[in-house]
Amino acid sequence: MPQPRARRTVLVPALPYLRIGTTESIPLDEFRRVLDTNLTGALLGIRAAAPSMRKAGGGAIVNVNSIAGLTAAPGLVAYSSSKWALRGLTRAAAKELARDNIRVNAVHPGIIETPLAYDPDGNPIVPVDNLAVPRNAAPDEIADFILLAASDQARFATGSEVLADGGYMLGAIA
């Protein structure tokens, strides 16, 4: 009879703090707040979870990143900066923790149907009409990618980045 797999601890830092502002217009305190939330928050989560994961014999960390961590997002300089830096944190942690059987991966969602998909006036931040999949993602669609990355089905992946954007990064279609 097959032995059941040991339970593993999973950490999913999902820190989507966003403030609109360009390199010249965003107040420095807001820039720092975005970095503190999106990047430092993930670091602190990893620091807190790693010892118990190590003690348990392993675990999985799935950083929820963004397409803003893969391409420029004009007007979102702080958010983009934090998400690009999160890529580096993901890979550094993956290298540091791999020998402890702790996997660290990232999911890069496209636009998710949440309040962050809209500006303060209620207008879409990103128009979707000309995209391959012309809609925002439902939160559960992204959750499925996170569950996969955290599961034993992804047990050989660490330092990986999964794009879950409905074709956003493909660009507009004709």
74 - beta bridge partners? none
Active site residues: 79
Q: Which two tokens stand for residue 73?
A: 């997002």
DSSP code at position 5: P
Q: Which are the contacts of 158, defined by CB distance < 8 A and separation ≥ 6?
A: 94, 97, 98, 103, 104, 105
Greatest Cα-to-Cα distance within the chain, rounded to the nearest angstrom: 64
Beta bridge partners of 112: 137
